[in-house]
Chains A and B, each alone.
Chain A
Amino acid sequence: MIDIRLVDEAPDVKACTEWLLETECGGIDIFIGKIRSINDGKHVVQISFEAYKPMALKELKHITDHVSEQWKVARILIHHRLGMLRAGDIPVIVGVSASHRAEAFEACRYIIDTLKQNVPIWKKEYYENGSVWINAHA
C-alpha cells in the first residue's frame, strides 16, 4: 500500500507510525525532517515550501514504483508539507514497512534522497534581513 500526500497542515506523526505498524512486517523505518533554527550560521525565521503539485505527485509515484520493484516492502508513506513553516516544524515524513530492517532502511533512504534530487518542491528561507531560495544560485 502506498500513501503519498502533499499537505497544508503538520503531518500527524502518530497516525503515520500507526499506519506503518498495522502490518505483520518486522522492520519499520521512518525518516522525519525537522526545520532547524540555524542554517549556515544564519537565524532562520521561517521557511516557505511550494510545489508544482501535479508533477511532484507524479515524481513521488515514480519513486514509490521504483521502491516496490527494488525492495520487498509492504507499505510506503510520503507526506510533504507545503506553505509557511517555522523552526521545529516537520516538513516531511517518509516511512517504510518491510519484512526486515535492511530493506526498510535502504528503501527509506532511497526515497528521501531521491525526493531531494528530483521532486519539484522548493524552499525559501527567511532571515531577519532577507530571504533566499535554497540551492538556486550558481
Chain B
Amino acid sequence: MATWLTTSSFADYPQQGRELAVSHLSDLQRVPVALLPVFLVDLKAYDWKFPVEQREIAKRIEFAGANPSSLAGFGNIQVPTTLDNPTRIKDPQRFLADMTTYLWSSLQMDAYRAAANRFVGIYSAAGQPDQPLVPRLVMVCIGRDAQQPDFSLFQKLHKFGQLRTNVRTEGAAGAMLAALHERAKSHPAPYAHWYVDGGNPLSTFDSDQVTHIFYPELAPLNQQILARMKACIEAGSGPEVLHIQLAELNDLPEPGQASLSDPRLHNFAVSLLTEGSGTQLFSTSFVQWTTREVLRRAQPTTLLVRFAPRQRQKSFNTMVAAGTLATDLDPAGSLIDADMAAYYAYLEMQRLSDSEHSTFLAWFENHPQAFIAGRGIAPGSVNDSPTTVAELLSEVSRTS
C-alpha cells in the first residue's frame, strides 16, 4: 500500500485534484501500489474531467478506502521498489505506463486483470450510478457519400433490435438533429447533449445547450500533433519520446476556435487526438473513439454521431502530410468502418446506467436502411413498412 503518500505528494497537481487527494489521503494510502497510478492519473486530470466523472472519481476513492477487502486481489502482485516509490507521484501517466510494462514483463498482467475486475465488480454492485435526465438516446449516421454496399449493414447490431428497410430519406438527418435540439432545450445540463461529426455539421445545427466536436474544426490542433509525430519519426526518437511530446500538448495555449474555448473541451479534444489511435489520420477512427469516450466519460443523455468519409489509406508519410485536410477519400471503406463503429457505440451505451430504457438508432445516410433498438422493439426483427426517422423516434420514446 502507498503508505508513503503525504499531503505534499500532490503539490504539483492542479487545484481541485490536489484538494480531493488531500481530503482523501487516508483512503489513497490504502490503495495497493499496483493500482495507485490509475487513481493518480484521474486526480492529476481531475480539474478537466466532466462533472459525472468527477463525482465518480471521488466515489471510487472513498469506496476503496472504506472497503479494503475489495482490493484483496492486488495483494499477491509484486511491485519493485522503483515503482513503489514516492518519486513516481509527479508524473502519473509515466507511472501508469511503467507499471503496465512491468506487469506485462513480470507475467502478472492476468493476476492484475482479475484483481481489477473483482474490484470493479464489487464497486459497481455497491454503488448507485448517476442516472440520465431522461432515458438516453444515441443516434448514429453512417455512410455519408457511400453507395449501396454488396453486404448487409447492421448485421452485428441486428440481434439487439430491428432492421428497418424502408425509411424515408428526406428529412431523416433533420429529424435526428431536431430530436437532439428538443431534448437539449427541455433538459438542459452541462455536457448532457452532444453532437459529434467527422465532417462539417448538418446545416441546421444550433449549438445552444449542445456540446459539439467537429473533426474539421480540430485541424489546427491535429496539424500540431502530426508535426510532432513526424519530427519524432524522422529523428528516430522512439515511442516514449513521442508519448512525452504528445502529452505536453495539453499544456499548449488553447486554440482560437470558439468551440474549444471551454478548457474541459479543449483538454478532451487533445486527449482524443493524442491518446486515440488513428484519430489523427482517419475521421472514422476519430468519430468512433470520440463516441466511445463521450459515452464512457461524459455519459450523455443525448448523443448524435455522424460519420464522414476518411482519407484513403496511403503510406504513413503521405497520410501524415495530408492529415485532417485530406481530399482523396474512401467512402466505401468508411462505411464498413462506421458500421462496426455503430455496433461499438451500442455496446458502450449498454454499459451505462439505465440502459434498459435507452434508445439506439443507426441510419445509413441518404438510404432507406436503419436499425433501432429500445424498449418494445423486438430483437432480431425486420420491418419493411414505410416509416420516417421522426416516427421511429416517436414510437420508441412512447415506450421508454
Q: Do A and B bind each other?
A: no
